Structure 1
Amino acid sequence: MFAVMSSPTAAPLRPARPKLLHPAAKPLLFVACLLPFVWLLYAAVMNQLGANPAEALIRATGDWTLRFLCIVLAVTPLRLWTKQPALARFRRMLGLFVFFYAVLHFLAYAWLDMGFDVATIARDIPKRPFALVGFLALLLLVPLAATSFNRAIKALGASRWRALHKSVYAIVLLGLLHFFWMRAAKNNFAEVAVYAMVIAVLLGWRARNAWRARRASGG
């Protein structure tokens, strides 16, 4: 999921470290990615989410969605900077966890704020810009999650599959805008600034690499 093209000008990659290729690496990562969900579930059951549990759950699942988006975007830069190609084998799982936490975020809103009333949800989303961009980001995630499998790559063709998964860049910007509008209601911009800086660095790195690749190819 969320394929990212590497620059042809990147330095040669060293052989992967054995730990990254260990059979337990993926299961351990899977467990680590589930820990935020386990903690939120435990906190909800044990009534440890504060005075407003509904808001805490909605906010936390949204925060983790944005964090996992940043982690996914960081895989390729880290892979090249550390010269460890095996890092790429974790990107699909991380991308699917983006979708997992995004769905949890929407379900928390639909259940705890809207009581799963479809008509109310349909009226509420278009009225509030932050809800609209967040819902749009979720819709864009659906085809990425649905095509995060080898059969999908073969069916679509590698070039079309990569083009589709580049929509992750639009998704992360929509997610950041959603986050900004959520925090703007309470004049809380400190976290927004941190995420914006991280995303700007990650997208700026890709833009620079794409520009260098075009120059190298004479485009």
Structure 2
Amino acid sequence: MTPTGHQTSSYDADGVVAELSRPAGDPRGVVVLAHGAGGNRHAVILRAIAAELCDRGLVVARVDLPYRQRRPKGPPSPSTAAADRDGIVAACAAFRGESAGPLIVGGHSYGGRQASMAVATDADLADGLLLTSYPLHPPGKPERLRTEHLPSITTPTVVVHGSTDPFGTTAEMADAVALIAGPTRVVEIEKVGHDLKPDRKPTAELTADAVVGFLLTDGGRR
């Protein structure tokens, strides 16, 4: 999923482990993406989105969160979530210098949630936030909403959501996004669940279009 003209290299320094994709020519911005609870930086959804964003002139860093650096398999522990957020902050610091343009941070499911919490704590961390399949609540437990920090997010945000995602219905997601203090745009992918099926649906293309059209052009220039 690395089109001709992209340069991809591995990065491992100061606790940050990533695959870095650079477009041909001067980049217009940087995107730092973190994986979901069961994945790593090589996840299909991250590779697909990275390829599309790189096509549009963005440097993309797909990072392994600290818990994944410690062990190759298994879910994260709530007790180490703060360390995962610290890892996202470190990745933003490591790659911000790749471009004079905006820096966008985010990720899929768990990775996006941790990025959103980091941005809620420090609005200067990034110029835009990208959340794919935000895990609004555990499947079948809509009363356990993960929304406490959303009103503290002032960063322009793109949310990509599958219409059949068991982690949140379309209506539930709309209510949650309305809590975000900053400008938002929602991209709904029809008839897909939490994995967003980037191999069967135009998920990556629609995500990249929203990042460029909203975070870089409309909402992301603060």
Question: When the two structures are superposed, what TM-score results if normalisation uses the length of structure 1?
Answer: 0.27
Name whichever structure is richer in strand by fraction: 2
Q: Which has the larger radius of gyration?
A: 1
Name whichever structure is richer in helix by fraction: 1
